[in-house]
Structure 1
Amino acid sequence: MLRIGIIGTGGIADAHINGYLAFREDCEIVALADVVPGKAAQKAEAFGLTDAVAYDDPFAMVAEAGLDLVSVATPPSTHAALAVAALDAGVHVLVEKPMAPSLEECDAMIAAQQRSGRLLSVVAQNRFRDDLATLKAVVDSGLLGSISHVRVDSAWWRGLPYYDLWWRGTWEKEGGGSTLNHAIHHIDLLLWLLGRPSEITAMLANAQHDNAEVEDLSVAVLRYGRGLAQLTSSVVHHGEEQEIVVQGEKARVSQPWKVVAERARPDGFPERERDAELVARIERVAADLEPLAHHGHAGQIGDMLDAIRTGRAPIADAQDGRNAVEVVTAIYKAGFDRRVVSLPLSEDDPYYRAGHLVSSAPHFYEKQRSVAEAVRV
């Protein structure tokens, strides 16, 4: 029975708690911590965790609670220090996205993971969805041919009060805006599907949130071989209609699910009748996939528990988390400096270092309000 601790008891902690409770035979939540006095105890009571010890000091919890695995569900600026402390104490770590605001901090976390011999996984819960597992299987099948274009719409909507929470809307505490904290999931999926791009360029804006320093909208173009990908990262899209469309040499697939395969006439224009045989082959790949037993955070937590038991790497490991932060960093560098950025980013790049982005980032607006707790209705 693995002993679980949770650091940070805000809204996202609920997904972690429910995820662990789905595996009661394998683990037990024995401790929760939050720097706001009494908050961890309130969360334990809300979930009926009567035997869990509540801490107001996360580092004390790591030192005293005898943990096997800890979830870090705190603001991004705190991830590195908490994860390193836990790993150096011999505790496995599952850290919320984004892994950290800078590549330097990501590498410090990876170094701690390597010297400790423990596991470090970064939350990428969308990998644990049947529809996205289907998209991945089809891309990996080779049936699409070479990839021409990918369109990723990480479309969210948040009203002005969203940025009133004390740590949101600032470069120092949140690390960035919609690109880092919302599109990080879609960036992970893009990297999962296609790997690392060679070049990135981007533009950023704050279109609707004049109570935040950070961007609420960015549009990036990424180069993959002969093809391109475009990524929209937004918290200004009404309807939150998210989509991934992969255009290949032979066919197009997308999430939400759709398959199209054109055939060329002798003059190059599309035939009236599409390639039904290829569509059927792609649909068979989708139909043959076994549904996942657990989804989202529960799926990733189940994978992490199994990885600890068997000694294998988790599906979404520390390098995956770092790769997503590298793409975000390149988007910020491209947008701030108005240039095309080549990957990988080296350690001597100023944007690699913790603090450089904060000191270089434009303040689209200044934060107007700061509240200790988000208001939930």
Structure 2
Amino acid sequence: MRTTILGAGAIAGAHAGAVAQLPEHGVDAVLAHVVDLDSARAEDFARQHGVAAHGTSLDGVLADTDVLHVCTPPGAHVAAAVAALEAGVHVVVEKPAALSLAEVDRIAAAEAASTASFTQVVQHRFGHGIRQLRRLLDEGALGRALVATCDTLWYRAPEYFEVPWRGRWDTEGGGPTMGHGIHQFDLLLAALGPWAEVTAMAGRLARDVDTEDVSMAIVRFESGAMATVTNSLLSPRETSDLRFDTEAATIELSHLYGYTDADWTFTPAPGRDDVAARWQPDPDALPSGHLAQLVPTYRAFAAGEAPPVTVADTRGTLELVAAIYRSAFTGAVVRAGEITAGDPFHTSMRGTGPVWPLR
């Protein structure tokens, strides 16, 4: 498969490195093109990563592309994804895939009419720890999941937002709820399944942005489990933490931007030492990251199968984002399925707007 990367910014390097390693894992793929509006940046990227062709136009290379990786700022994701799907090209999009539920619905419609498939990068779903947790929950070995916490406590200095598209509803789609914490609460959903209702608050406490710089939510899942979700860009000691309390054990993950089995801890409930042996590290497992997701994704593309993260999975996570904003800005409890066409929060995560003014 011939791969094109659109957008030669910082995250594109992770994509290029992962594609270059795919043949080592039995996937026949090559990075054939890089496209960027800045021709000099495209040329530098191509030289650095050994890419044969580079340019500034996507239209000219889609006919020679099997998989397009969209690594642009979020506001440009949808147009590129739809164009590729209409050309029969598989799409791998960095998170967030779209700025609204309406936009992800547009992608879903384009995929339904295409011979190609779409997926969003949520690479932490592919670490061994989360897959093991999901398996043990499915098998009933841990009993019911009851309580969870999900904290994305990151720090972004004021100069981070000097990049023109950051901190704006129209180009980034939201603040840490949309662009940062999404990785961790996507893991929360991967472990606990569909959510049922959410109540939340958000604030712009310290950064000169249009969006929030912190949000907090309480989520109830269809299973009855309950979780808290915190998304912050104001936390000097950065951590990404998840904790799952089940009937039989507490399972915790503490990392920052990626994890291995060493970042997980497993604590049996009193009297449940029998479950401890069920939690086993895998020394051969890939760490969570782009390669761990791309290996099964490219295998699915090659086999004509749905990728492991579908457009429906993507929508489910973005629906929780929209619900957090809707609850925070309206003061109402939001239930799954409530945000439909015609709702302001369907077309924009800002919806009816926060109490603070735009910059």
Q: TM-score, normalised by structure 1?
A: 0.86
- Distance in 2 between residues matched to 1:359 and 1:135, nearest whole Å: 35
Counterpart code for 1:47: H
Matched, 1:328 2:330: no
**Closer/same/farther in 2, CA of residues 363 and 3 from structure 1, 3 Å limit:** farther
Counterpart code for 1:279: D
Aligned to 1:212: 209
Aligned to 2:18: 19
For residues 345-368 of structure 1, the C-alpha deviation after alignment (integer angstroms, 9 at most, x for no partner) is: 3433513543x444633374655x
1:139 corresponds to which of 131, 137, 140 = 137
Matched, 1:348 2:341: yes
- Distance in 2 between residues matched to 1:23 and 1:194, nearest whole Å: 30
Q: CA deviation at 1:36?
A: 2.7
Q: CA deviation at 1:293?
A: 4.3
Tell me if the contact between 1:214 and 1:363 (Cα under 8 Å) persists in the aligned partners: no
- Distance in 1 between residues matched to 2:335 and 2:137, nearest whole Å: 25
Q: Alignment partner of 1:309: what SS?
A: helix
Q: CA deviation at 1:237?
A: 1.6
- Distance in 2 between residues matched to 1:253 and 1:359, nearest whole Å: 36
Q: CA deviation at 1:303?
A: 1.4
**Closer/same/farther in 2, CA of residues 241 and 259 from structure 1, 3 Å limit:** same
Aligned to 2:258: none
Aligned to 1:361: 353
Counterpart code for 2:202: L
Q: Which has the larger radius of gyration?
A: 1
Aligned to 1:39: 41
1:302 corresponds to which of 295, 305, 309 = 295
Tell me if the contact between 2:266 and 2:279 (Cα under 8 Å) persists in the aligned partners: no
Q: CA deviation at 1:295?
A: 4.1
- Distance in 2 between residues matched to 1:288 and 1:258, nearest whole Å: 10
Counterpart code for 1:335: A
2:280 corresponds to which of 275, 281, 287 = 287
Tell me if the contact between 1:35 and 1:58 (Cα under 8 Å) persists in the aligned partners: no
Tell me if the contact between 1:77 and 1:101 (Cα under 8 Å) persists in the aligned partners: yes
For residues 210-256 of structure 1, the C-alpha deviation after alignment (integer angstroms, 9 at most, x for no partner) is: x2111111000111243311100111122212211111233222114
Counterpart code for 2:161: Y
1:259 corresponds to which of 262, 266, 283 = 266
- Distance in 2 between residues matched to 1:19 and 1:288, nearest whole Å: 23
- Distance in 2 between residues matched to 1:60 and 1:148, nearest whole Å: 52
Q: Alignment partner of 1:239: what SS?
A: strand
Q: Provide the aligned length of Structure 1 versus Structure 2.
A: 346
Matches within 5 A, 1:173-322: 173-209=171-207, 211-224=208-221, 225-256=223-254, 257-262=264-269, 274-275=270-271, 278-281=272-275, 283-287=276-280, 291-293=284-286, 295-322=288-315
Q: Alignment partner of 1:5: what SS?
A: strand
Aligned to 2:111: 113
**Closer/same/farther in 2, CA of residues 218 and 27 from structure 1, 3 Å limit:** same
Tell me if the contact between 2:137 and 2:144 (Cα under 8 Å) persists in the aligned partners: no
- Distance in 2 between residues matched to 1:308 and 1:195, nearest whole Å: 25
Counterpart code for 1:204: A
Counterpart code for 1:126: H
Aligned to 1:266: none
Aligned to 2:122: 124
Counterpart code for 2:218: V
Identity %: 31
**Closer/same/farther in 2, CA of residues 349 and 186 from structure 1, 3 Å limit:** farther
Aligned to 1:370: none
Aligned to 2:260: none
For residues 274-315 of structure 1, the C-alpha deviation after alignment (integer angstroms, 9 at most, x for no partner) is: 32xx3342x322217574246410111111211112222211
Counterpart code for 2:293: Q
Tell me if the contact between 1:294 and 1:302 (Cα under 8 Å) persists in the aligned partners: no
Task: Point out where structure 1 has 5 or more consecutive residues left out of the alignment.
Answer: 263-273, 368-377
Aligned to 1:61: 61
Larger relative contact order (C-alpha < 8 A, sep ≥ 6)?
1
Counterpart code for 1:20: V
For residues 42-99 of structure 1, the C-alpha deviation after alignment (integer angstroms, 9 at most, x for no partner) is: 21112232x1x2121233433x5x1000101111121111100000001000011112
Q: TM-score, normalised by structure 2?
A: 0.90
Counterpart code for 1:35: L
Alignment RMSD (CA, Å): 2.0
**Closer/same/farther in 2, CA of residues 145 and 91 from structure 1, 3 Å limit:** same
Q: Alignment partner of 1:156: what SS?
A: strand
For residues 12-61 of structure 1, the C-alpha deviation after alignment (integer angstroms, 9 at most, x for no partner) is: 00110001000246111111111234221121112232x1x212123343
Tell me if the contact between 1:135 and 1:255 (Cα under 8 Å) persists in the aligned partners: no
